């Protein structure tokens, strides 16, 4: 499958994430959109990694070129998991304090 399809899919996912982050006011949905963006990048990393590997295997059967992209994906997933736990905890604390998860109320730093 040509790489373009992956790229279009990732761009779409990423844009959905961005638009979600920009337009939604519910913190949990914003959070999910952030995850969506992360995963769009992950998908892209895996796709390119596979593409580079496939190209390199033609010349050399034992090569591992491009596998580092897949390694990055694992890193990102680990970091994302940690981030989710911290982020969700913040949102929960937020809900306890303000009884809302609307991010427009998160302007305490203003003034």
Partner 1 sequence: MSKLVYLIPLFPLLGFLINGLGRKHLSKSMIGIIGTGSILASFIVSVLVFFDVKATGTSTVVTLFNFIQVKGLLIPFAFQVDQLSVIFLLIITGIGTLIHLYSTAYMHTEEPAHFGRYFAYLNLFIFSMLLLVLGANYVIMFIGWEGVGLCSYLLIGYWFKNNNYNYAAKKAFVMNRIGDLGFLLAVFWLIFKLGTATYSDVFLHVDKLSAFDITAITTLLFVGAMGKSAQIPLYTWLPDAMAGPTPVSALIHAATMVTAGIYMIARTNLLYSMAPGTQTLIAIIGLATAIFAATIALKQNDIKKVLAYSTVSQLGYMFLGLGVGAYTGAVFHVMTHAFFKALLFLGAGSVIHAMHHEQDITKMGGLKKFMPITHITFLLACLAIAGIPPFSGFFSKDEILMAAYAKNPIYYYVGLGGALMTAFYMFRLYTLTFLGGFRGTQAQASHVHESPIAMTFPLIVLAILSVIGGLIGIPEVFAKDAHSLGNFLTPIFAQSAALATEHHLEASQEYLFMGVSTLLIAGIIFYTISSYKKYQSTETENTGLAKLLENKWYIDELYDAIIVKPLNAIAVFFKNIIEKNIIDGGVNGVGKLVSYSSRQIRLLQSGQVGNYVLIMVLAIVVFILIWFNDLTLSYYLNRLFKNA
**Least distance (Å) between residue 67 CB and partner 1:** 28
Give the residue with the Cβ less far from partner 1, 21 or 80. 21
- The binding site for partner 1 (CB under 8 A) comprises 18, 21-22, 103-104, 106-111
How far is the C-alpha of 14 from the C-alpha of 2, rounded, in Å? 19
64: number of Cβ within 10 Å = 10
31 neighbors 88 (Cβ within 8 angstroms): yes
Give the residue with the Cβ less far from partner 1, 8 or 74. 8
**Least distance (Å) between residue 26 CB and partner 1:** 12
12: number of Cβ within 10 Å = 11
Give the residue with the Cβ less far from partner 1, 97 or 107. 107
């Amino acid at each position: 499958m040509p790489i373009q399809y992956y790229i279009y899919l990732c761009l779409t996912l990423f844009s959905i994430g961005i638009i979600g982050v920009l337009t939604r006011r519910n913190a949990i949905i914003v959070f999910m959109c952030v995850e969506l963006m992360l995963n769009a990048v992950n998908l892209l990393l895996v796709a390119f990694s596979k593409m580079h590997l496939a190209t390199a295997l033609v010349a050399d059967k034992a090569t591992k070129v491009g596998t580092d992209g897949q390694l990055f994906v694992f890193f990102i997933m680990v970091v994302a998991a940690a981030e989710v736990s911290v982020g969700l905890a913040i949102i929960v604390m937020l809900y306890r304090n303000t009884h809302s998860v609307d991010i427009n109320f998160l302007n305490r730093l203003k003034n």
